[in-house]
Amino acid sequence: MLRFVARRLVWMVITLAAISFVTFVVIKLPPGDYTTTVIANAEARGQDIPDSQIAELKRHYGLDKPFIVQYLTWIKGVVLHGDLGQSFAWNQSVASLIGNRVLLSMVLSIASLLFVWSIAFPIGIYSALRQYSGGDYLASFLGFIGMAVPEFMLALVMMYIGFRYFGQSVGGLFSPEYADAAWNLGKLLDLISHLWIPIVVVGVAGTAGLIRITRANLLDELHKPYVATARAKGLPEWKLLLKYPVRMSLSPFFSTVGWLLPGLISGETIVSVVMSLPTSGPLLLGAVKSQDMYLVGSFVLILSTLTVIGTMLSDLALAWWDPRIRTRFQKG
């Protein structure tokens, strides 16, 4: 098991390095660099910056160095000082801008993940055990719809319903009276009462997908010989189903995190834009639109890192759950 963990950790570090490199490439992708922006800003104010000052700026930010050196300087700053660079548009350090927002994004994504699990597994298992029953058809049909409706559409419809019939905005995460208040129980309850709509909206697509996967997996397992063995042993039907095929089909429960989490973060991003939630989504969108590349890159970096960590945790959980994976690494 230790070996397995060590391997996963090494692989995670490599992945993170790759992600950070890709991120930096993306940051550097648009033509021009920081000085271009500074000059443009200055010109907009009718000022003129002397060439010497520009050269000074370039030296200061290392923009005259080769690409790889720039990357190393940047990643050193990120890792050692948590320095993600400067937001041009906000004229602030990126780290100070996004801290809380990323936290809320993660809260929302993880809450959606739990929602997806708690809904999708029971329904998926039911669907498989009662294949071709009315409930199975209903679940399949709703699953299809869930996969076909884009998250932002669902968010829009929810907003429309809230606005039209309840005369209130369902956007945001806090009621006005709590928005700027310090954290207390009231604020927490307020948050929860606002949070469930985005959680459901973000989770719908993942739920639909996971129901289908659970159902298909369980259907595959249901007719395996080991189930017949268990039946031949004289176990009561429901008991053997739960102990054998259902347990086997639950391995995806863990491995799903790998693909579910990126999807949920994507969904969360767009839903937050529509419902104007104070998470990373709207800020990222603004940054993208103004080509505020350090801010954009930081979001990609942080969200990917969190996903990779989440995936690793789920892999460890899977190893705990499934002895085949656990023991594969025992002997090396």
Partner 1 sequence: MQPLLEVRSLRTHFELGDGVVKAVDGVSLSVPRGRTLAVVGESGCGKSVTARSILRLVEKPARIVGGEILLHPDSDGEPLDLLAAKDKRLRQVRWADIAMVFQEPMASLSLVHTIGDQIIEAVRLHENVGKQAARERAIEMLGRVGIPDPQRRVDSYPFQFSGGMRQRAMIAMALSCRPRLLIADEPTTALDVTTQAQILDLLQDLQQEFGMAIMLITHDLGVAAQVADEVAVMYLGEVVEQGPASAVLSHPKHPYTQALVRSVPRLGARGQDRLVAVRGTVPPPYERPTGCRFHPRCDAFMAGKCDVTVPTRVRSDEIDVACLLYGEEKS
Partner 2 sequence: MVQQTEVMATGTQHEAQEEVVKSLRDHGALPQWRLMWRQFRRHRLALIGLIVLIPIYFMAVFAGFFAPASADTAHTELPYAPPQRVHVSAEHGMFVYGYSSTRNQETFEQTFTVDKSKIVDIGWFVRGDEYSILGPIKSNIHLIGPAKAGEAFFLVGADQSGRDLLSRLIHGARVSLSIGLVGVFASFVLGMLIGGISGYVGGRVDNIIQRIIEFIMSVPTLPLWMALSAALPGSWGPLTRYFAITVILSLIGWTGLARDVRGRFLSLREEDFVMAARLDGVSRTGIIFGHMVPSFASHIIASISMAVPRMILAETSLSFLGLGLQPPAVSWGVLLEGAQNIRAVATAPWLLTPGLAVVVVVLAMNFVGDGLRDAADPYK
**330 near partner 2, judged by CB under 8 A:** no
Q: CB under 8 Å to 330, separation ≥6 — which residues? A: 1, 3
| Residue 15 touching partner 2 (CB under 8 A) | yes
Token digits for 63?
């923009």
Is 147 a binding residue for partner 2 by CB under 8 A? The answer is yes
Between 46 and 225, CB nearer to partner 1: 225
Residue 233 CB, nearest distance to partner 1 (Å)? 5
Q: How far apart are CA 209 and CA 113, in angstroms?
A: 12
Q: 248 near 236, Cβ under 8 Å?
A: no
* Cβ neighbourhood burial of 36 (10 Å; 0-12, 13-18, 19+): middle
User: Whose Cβ is closer to partner 1: residue 244's or residue 299's?
Assistant: 244
Question: Does 119 interact with partner 2 (rule: CB under 8 A)?
Answer: no
User: Cα–Cα distances in Å, from 59 out to 43, 54, 56?
Assistant: 21, 9, 5
- Burial, 27: exposed, middle or buried (Cβ in 10 Å; 0-12, 13-18, 19+)? buried
Residue 49 or 219: the one with the smaller Cβ distance to partner 2 is 219
Count the site residues for partner 1 by CB under 8 A.
21
Q: Which of 300, 129, 304 is nearest to 219 (CA)?
A: 129
Kindly state the tokens that stand for 248: 């086997």
Q: How far apart are CA 275 and CA 278, in angstroms?
A: 9
Asked if 289 is part of the footprint of partner 1 (rule: CB under 8 A), the reply reads no
Determine, following the binding rule CB under 8 A, whether residue 19 of this chain makes contact with partner 2.
yes
SS3 201: helix
Smallest distance, partner 1 to C-beta of residue 223, A: 6
- Residue span binding partner 2 (CB under 8 A) among the ranges 18-26, 45-53, 67-75, 179-187: 18-26
Q: Please tell me the distance from the alpha carbon of residue 11 to that of residue 258, in angstroms, as a whole number.
A: 14
**30 near partner 2, judged by CB under 8 A:** yes
List interacting residues with partner 1 (CB under 8 A).
223-226, 228-236, 243-244, 247-248, 322-324, 327
List interacting residues with partner 2 (CB under 8 A).
11, 15, 18-19, 22-23, 26, 29-31, 144-145, 147-153, 156-157, 159-160, 163-164, 169, 171, 223-225, 228, 258-259, 261-263, 265-267, 269-270, 273-274, 284-285, 287-289, 291, 293, 296-297, 299-300, 303-304, 307-308, 311
